[in-house]
Amino acid sequence: VENNNIDHIQDLLSHLVAEEIAEILESSPIKVRQVLWQQIDSDKQGEILTHTNDEVKSNLLETMQPHEIVEIAEDLQTDDIADIAQSLPIHDQKTFLASLNEDDRNAVETALTYPEDTAGGLMSTDFISIRADVSLDVVLRYLRTLGAIPESTSELFVADRDGKYIGSLKLTHLLTHDEDTLVADILDQSLPAIRAFTPEKDVAHLFEKNDLISAAVINENHIILGRITIDDVVDIIREEGEHAQMASAGLDEDEDIFAPAARAAKRRTFWLGINLLTAIFASIVIGLFDASIEKIVALAILMPIIASMGGIAGTQTATIVIRAMATGKLGRSNSRSLLIKETTVGLLNGLIWALLTGTAVFFWFSDWSLSLIFAFALMINLIAAALAGALIPLFLQRMKIDPALASGLMLTTVTDSLGFFVFLGLATIVLL
Amino acid sequence: VENNNIDHIQDLLSHLVAEEIAEILESSPIKVRQVLWQQIDSDKQGEILTHTNDEVKSNLLETMQPHEIVEIAEDLQTDDIADIAQSLPIHDQKTFLASLNEDDRNAVETALTYPEDTAGGLMSTDFISIRADVSLDVVLRYLRTLGAIPESTSELFVADRDGKYIGSLKLTHLLTHDEDTLVADILDQSLPAIRAFTPEKDVAHLFEKNDLISAAVINENHIILGRITIDDVVDIIREEGEHAQMASAGLDEDEDIFAPAARAAKRRTFWLGINLLTAIFASIVIGLFDASIEKIVALAILMPIIASMGGIAGTQTATIVIRAMATGKLGRSNSRSLLIKETTVGLLNGLIWALLTGTAVFFWFSDWSLSLIFAFALMINLIAAALAGALIPLFLQRMKIDPALASGLMLTTVTDSLGFFVFLGLATIVLL
């Protein structure tokens, strides 16, 4: 990108859809990103911002004047305008809201009263609602008068005269029934509307469970506030998947690939610091047995194998448990069965690898006692790893700590320290 | 679940939707699962199977007679029948196909000619196609004659007389335009149909990029074969997210939480074996310096810290790179910038932690040379970790090896072995 001239870039950008440009911006180092951003038509900038992640959005908005931001926000749906407002520093947010037209401002202010990760924070206000006591004929004429139906509309909301949600009328039903049928006769009441404070995770689950394309959002009085569409839900599901992956390395799923190095280093250094504490703990355990290591150097050579195998086995169990918890498949009723199964797996793997590696150690160091101690310590550590891999995430969840974030750290502390302790401790007792 | 009586279970199950029952089955130990399965109405079993993961599906099908399987499959959409066929052993698959009615058999056999993870393997054959030269009035009457429109239909496909895809007509446009408008005048040609051999990952990307709800699948002659809907795409996106998480621990995203312990142990033992090789390699590196460790036991105490910090820092970089590659945000044009950024982060963190831990080591062992060597080795390892964390996934991708699966393993080999080598090697040269 950097080597092309500006005209060529503008030409290229004009052929891409907003989502593609958003991806290019996210994939560009910060300087290139800002040059590109200036080349983009301001008509397109608003829609592009709706597709970038939060960190890149803030980064781009920082380069703009307040009046430019208002200009690009004007044509967006209200949930997207609210997102932009949320990406601004508090001080700019007020100025920004004051500059919006009254309708938008009201809608955005409503959206801002709900946390970003709830149904209220996700919804847009562009829905069509109809009454139950009219015939399909009336509905069809009404739609033609409107002339346009919002994107991703698969159903119309049916409300009473106070705006309370009664049910929905699928477009497909509208099209296949006689024109003189009453809405009340074919409206779908099987799906409840979503409360505004429902967490986004539950919203995604509802959509997946019922194969929804859109759903109504209501307040505590059942008044329809807005609409959530499947494209927002797809984003949530993608983020959920990325969360587990990123969190296990102490990273945020909104991490900008091209964040300035100093900012990225600052965030990661905290995680390294926490990990250092667990590593130091393991070192202290080794330090307890310095006299033994001095006499039998083979202990120092072999001890990383025991720690490493325990870490891997524990991570496998923890990964399965964390995934099962995230997808709501692990609860009180089945956690005992899972614990038994995982411990059995640990025992089986412990036996297999104790046998194989014990034999290998014998051929390496020609020492029967050492190889037996090694095999025994490895088996203990693999069983402990399975137990810890299952119990730690369950414990963290009960403590309301994100298991995806903290499990790996706690697990390594157990498998490293315990592995070193059992191996070096046994060797000290038996061999010295 | 286990303690309740059968009547009560049946009553409970009858109140749940298929997806919920599927979740309960996936969350149940195998014996409970099979008892539950027998209590479920055979009318519901088919739909439930469409929601379970592949391993649980096979597990449930194993308990059934061939004629029972045909019975529950009959009412499903053809893509779901094809999924069931694919979950059967080859021998049973033939009997199963032969027992289907001709229409279903043809559709399923077509689906089976495409790999499961392509558009052709995902599609169902229940689409509505219309001609371009008719008026909306004709279309509306045609839909009323049909009486029902398939689930998740947001658009009708427009085809020529040979069945070749021309474009689509959105239901929302059908509803907002005059009845005498010709389909040809408002048909949407902006979105290309999807080729049957398109990988599912690209299908998901297309849906996300264009906020699609459904899309036509065509063969090489542009003939419409079927339709993919957003609910299938949501499943793909969920699986993609889980893949990275599970693969990093050497697990499959289809892993049954309650797979029999022996089967689970067998799968995981392979992964432990591969990891053992990397651990042994690190041990061999330590073995090179056994004489040094014998003289200065502090080396054995401190060496795990250097390896562990390197592993964490490298994992952070690798996680970011793997995520960026999976979402298509990393290519030739920006990989150099990313490499420079990550190395800078590694350098910054290396400096910070070399300083802090070097000081700590001095206070622990009161040895200036040892603390300087430790600090230097840690810094080298953190920089190497950043480089390796960025280069290894890029290299694996070029080799067509799944980076999510193999990066962690290769990375640990580098950070452990290099960390031990630099630390012990320097100590041997300087201190002895």
Over range B345-374, report the average pLDDT. Answer: 95
Residue type at position B90: I
* Chain A residues closer than 8 Å to B52 by CB: none
Query: Which of B323, B365, B421, B428 to mutate: most A Cβ within 10 Å?
Result: B323
**A298 near A370, Cβ under 8 Å?**
yes
**A223 near A162, Cβ under 8 Å?**
yes
What radius of gyration do chain B's Cα atoms show? 29
* Chain B residues closer than 8 Å to A286 by CB: 300-301, 304
Q: Chain A closest CA to B95's CA: distance in Å?
A: 32
Nearest-angstrom CA–CA distance, A105 and A99: 8
Residue type at position B245: Q
Q: Chain A closest CA to B268's CA: distance in Å?
A: 8
Phi, psi dihedral angles at A399 (to 5 degrees): -85, 5
**B16 near B48, Cβ under 8 Å?**
no
Q: How confident is the model at residue B239 (pLDDT cuts 50, 70, 90)?
A: confident
Query: In 3-state terms, what secondary structure has residue A294?
Result: helix
Helix axes A90-99, A78-87, angle to 10 degrees: 150
Count CB pairs under 8 A between chains A and B. 332
- A312 & A399 share domain: yes
> Of B63, B85, B115, which residue is a domain's last?
B115
Long-range contacts of A271-276 (CB under 8 A, 24+ apart): A271/B312, A271/B316, A272/B309, A272/B312, A272/B313, A272/B349, A272/B353, A273/B353, A274/A250, A274/A409, A275/A409, A275/A412, A275/B308, A275/B309, A275/B312, A276/B305, A276/B309, A276/B353, A276/B357
Any domain includes A1: no
- A241 & A266 share domain: no
Name which of A152, A209, A357 is nearest B213 (Cβ-Cβ).
A152
Q: CB-based contact (8 Å) between A208 and chain B?
A: yes
Of B348, B332, B325, which Cα lies nearest the Cα of B397?
Answer: B325
Residue B8 has pLDDT above 80, yes or no: no
Predicted pLDDT of residue A3: 54
* Cβ partners under 8 Å of residue B311, min gap 6: B385, B411, B412, B415, B416
Nearest-angstrom CA–CA distance, A27 and A46: 18
Name which of A149, A297, A307 is nearest B290 (Cβ-Cβ).
A297
Q: Chain A closest CA to B241's CA: distance in Å?
A: 4
Report the first-to-last Cα separation within chain A, whole angstroms: 66
Residue A1 has pLDDT above 50, yes or no: no
Helix axes B332-365, A261-287, angle to 10 degrees: 40
Tally of domains within chain B = 3
Q: CB-based contact (8 Å) between B15 and chain A?
A: no
Q: CB-based contact (8 Å) between B355 and chain A?
A: no
Structure tokens at B364: 């622990």
**A19 near B209, Cβ under 8 Å?**
yes
- B207 & B74 share domain: no
Q: Which of residues 379-398 of B touch A (CB under 8 A)?
A: none
- A422 & A395 share domain: yes
> Which domain does B337 fall in, by range?
261-431
Cβ <8 Å between B17 and A146: no
CA distances from B175 to A105, A138, B179 (A): 31, 12, 9
- Share of residues in chain B with pLDDT > 70 (%): 99
Any domain includes A294: yes
Query: Which of A305, A325, A371 to mutate: most B Cβ within 10 Å?
Result: A305
Name which of B268, B303, B348 is nearest A345 (Cβ-Cβ).
B268
Any domain includes B314: yes
Any domain includes A252: no
- B189 & B270 share domain: no
Any domain includes A135: yes
Average pLDDT, chain A: 90
Cβ <8 Å between A341 and B176: no
**B195 near B220, Cβ under 8 Å?**
yes
* Chain A residues closer than 8 Å to B233 by CB: 234
Residue A298 has pLDDT above 50, yes or no: yes
- B163 & B82 share domain: no
The CATH number that applies at residue A322 is: 1.10.357.20
Q: CB-based contact (8 Å) between A234 and chain B?
A: yes
- A268 & A396 share domain: yes
- A84 & A41 share domain: yes
Structure tokens at A37: 């951003």
Other beta carbons within 10 Å of B194: 26
* Chain A residues closer than 8 Å to B28 by CB: 334
Q: What is the DSSP letter of A192?
A: P
Structure tokens at A206: 């509802």
Q: How confident is the model at residue B3 (pLDDT cuts 50, 70, 90)?
A: low
- B86 & B179 share domain: no
Sign for the CA dihedral angle at B408, B414, B419, B424 comes to positive
Query: When comparing pLDDT for B36 and A1, which is higher?
Result: B36
Predicted pLDDT of residue B360: 95
Query: Which of B12, B52, B153, B334 to mutate: most A Cβ within 10 Å?
Result: B334
Predicted pLDDT of residue B4: 54
- B282 & B157 share domain: no
Any domain includes B121: no
- B425 & B304 share domain: yes
Q: CB-based contact (8 Å) between A349 and chain B?
A: yes
Predicted pLDDT of residue B313: 95
**B241 near A241, Cβ under 8 Å?**
yes
Query: In 3-state terms, what secondary structure has residue A181?
Result: coil
Residue type at position A347: L
With 0-12 / 13-18 / 19 or more C-beta atoms within 10 angstroms meaning exposed / middle / buried, residue A288 is middle
Predicted pLDDT of residue B1: 47
* Chain B residues closer than 8 Å to A293 by CB: 293, 297, 300
Q: Chain A closest CA to B6's CA: distance in Å?
A: 17
Residue A5 has pLDDT above 80, yes or no: no
- B416 & B337 share domain: yes
Cβ <8 Å between B301 and A307: no
Query: Which of A128, A329, A382, A414 to mutate: most B Cβ within 10 Å?
Result: A329
Name which of A241, A275, A329 is nearest B309 (Cβ-Cβ).
A275
* Cβ partners under 8 Å of residue A320, min gap 6: A342, B246, B251, B255, B257
Predicted pLDDT of residue A281: 95
Structure tokens at A254: 């909104």
Any domain includes B214: yes
Q: Which of residues 250-269 of A touch B (CB under 8 A)?
A: 250-251, 255, 257-258, 261-262, 264-265, 268-269
Q: CB-based contact (8 Å) between A5 and chain B?
A: no
Predicted pLDDT of residue B204: 93
Other beta carbons within 10 Å of B135: 17
What's the pLDDT tens digit per position in B322-333? 988 888 888 888
Cβ <8 Å between B272 and A353: yes
Q: What are the DSSP calls for B189-204, one per residue?
A: -SSPPEETT-BHHHHH
What's the pLDDT tens digit per position in A165-217? 999 999 999 999 999 999 999 999 988 899 999 999 999 989 988 888 999 99
The CATH number that applies at residue B213 is: 3.10.580.10
Q: What are the DSSP calls for A234-258, one per residue?
A: HHHHHHHHHHHHHHTTT--TT--TT
* Chain B residues closer than 8 Å to A264 by CB: 341, 345
Adjacency order of strands within the sheet including A129-130: A129-130, A155-159, A165-170
- Residue in chain B closest to A323 (alpha carbons) equals B242
- Share of residues in chain B with pLDDT > 90 (%): 54
Over range A137-154, report the average pLDDT. Answer: 90
Q: How confident is the model at residue A421 (pLDDT cuts 50, 70, 90)?
A: very high
B381-B383-B384-B385 Cα dihedral, nearest 10 degrees? 80
With 0-12 / 13-18 / 19 or more C-beta atoms within 10 angstroms meaning exposed / middle / buried, residue B366 is exposed
* Element housing A129 (H / E): strand A129-130
Over range B64-77, report the average pLDDT. Answer: 86
Q: CB-based contact (8 Å) between B143 and chain A?
A: yes
Name which of A29, A331, A353 is nearest B334 (Cβ-Cβ).
A29
What's the pLDDT tens digit per position in A345-386? 999 999 999 999 999 999 999 999 999 999 999 999 999 999
What's the pLDDT tens digit per position in A189-198? 988 899 999 9
Nearest-angstrom CA–CA distance, B432 and B419: 19
Q: What is the DSSP letter of A187?
A: -
Any domain includes B94: yes
B408-B411-B417-B420 Cα dihedral, nearest 10 degrees? -90
- Residue in chain A closest to B386 (alpha carbons) equals A265
- Residue in chain B closest to A29 (alpha carbons) equals B337
ipTM of the complex model:
0.84
Over range A102-120, report the average pLDDT. Answer: 87
Residue B32 has pLDDT above 60, yes or no: yes
Q: For B147-229, where are the alpha helices, taking DSSP H only?
A: 171-176, 183-186, 200-210
* Chain A residues closer than 8 Å to B320 by CB: 246, 251, 255, 257
Name which of B175, B305, B338 is nearest A257 (Cβ-Cβ).
B338
Phi, psi dihedral angles at B228 (to 5 degrees): -110, 135
Of B205, B273, B270, which Cα lies nearest the Cα of B236?
Answer: B205
Q: How confident is the model at residue A4 (pLDDT cuts 50, 70, 90)?
A: low
Cβ <8 Å between B265 and A344: yes
Place of tokens 């960025």: B390
Report the first-to-last Cα separation within chain B, whole angstroms: 66
β-pairing, A155-159 vs A129-130, is parallel
Residue B246 has pLDDT above 70, yes or no: yes
> Of B59, B84, B115, which residue is a domain's last?
B115
Nearest-angstrom CA–CA distance, A133 and A161: 10
**A347 near A383, Cβ under 8 Å?**
yes
> Of A117, A150, A165, which residue is a domain's last?
A117
